[in-house]
Amino acid sequence: MKIKCLAIDDEPFALQQISSYIEKTPFLEAVALCHTAFEAMDFIANNEIDLMFVDINMPDINGMDFVKSLVNKPQIIFTTAYSEYAIEGFKVDALDYILKPISYAVFLKAATKAKTWFELNQRQPETVQTTQDCLFVKSEYKLVKILLSEIKYIESANEYIQIHLVSDKPITTLIRLKVIEEQLPKDKFMRVHRSFIVNLERVKVIERNRIIFDQKIYIPIGDQYKDSFQAFVDKTFLV
């Protein structure tokens, strides 16, 4: 399996160089090249990324602030011409920090470090069992029964998900969001973002392309899910 990569750099030559290095590396795959952090934000809101090569000095929002703003961030390798950011880079759990100009040997060493990380951390996700009105998941070495009607929304956290409930604390389990999505009834649950599935029966307030739960929790609606969610709104709400 190849590591899905996104590269961000406002310098066209530097971006093309990283792109060529990714293409040259057998275990990497370039799925997006972005000139700004805002382009990258739009892309990762609707697509799954394993690894990002991020330039730090960029206009509008620099790479470090961009990474800090991400809730569910992929693994990071910073690329920059300035060594003074190195300590801060590792504070945000970056896998590596490589200085420009970047030779392929230096790039490959960082990429291999990423490959090793993924191999060590890649675990087979647990399966989920479902019935007509509930599901069973493993959490903290126990098999937990969850009533579908009690689920408000489900949130992805890389390999894990958090199942947020109406009347209890969230349940964390080692399942990919896609796996549980395939098991849930399509007429009651809908994926509205790369990181969120919502219980349609619990959707009460929608504002500015966000679903609001309890006036504190805002679930964004991703671009690729807007049409299907709008169809649900048109069918359900009187406007």
Q: Mark out the alpha helices in 56-184 (DSSP H runs).
A: 63-69, 86-91, 104-121, 177-183
**How confident is the model at residue 199, as a pLDDT?**
95
15-62 per-position pLDDT tens digit: 999 999 999 999 999 999 999 999 999 898 888 899 999 998 888 888
**For residue 147, is pLDDT > 60?**
yes
Task: Read off the tokens for 141.
Answer: 């070495």
pLDDT band at 120 (very low <50, low <70, confident <90, very high): low
* Mean pLDDT score of the chain: 87
pLDDT band at 64 (very low <50, low <70, confident <90, very high): confident
User: Domains in the chain and their CATH numbers?
Assistant: 3-121 (3.40.50.2300), 129-236 (2.40.50.1020)
**How confident is the model at residue 191, as a pLDDT?**
94
- The dihedral built from the CA positions of residue 52, 226, 211 and 168, taken in this order, carries a sign that is negative
Pair 183, 128: CB distance under 8 Å = yes
**How confident is the model at residue 109, as a pLDDT?**
94
159-176 per-position pLDDT tens digit: 688 999 998 889 988 888
> pLDDT: is 92 or 112 the higher one?
112
**How confident is the model at residue 62, as a pLDDT?**
84
**For residue 91, is pLDDT > 70?**
no
Average pLDDT value for residue range 179-204: 91
What number of other Cβ atoms are within 10 A of residue 52's Cβ? 26
Task: Read off the tokens for 233.
Answer: 């709104």
**For residue 108, is pLDDT > 80?**
yes
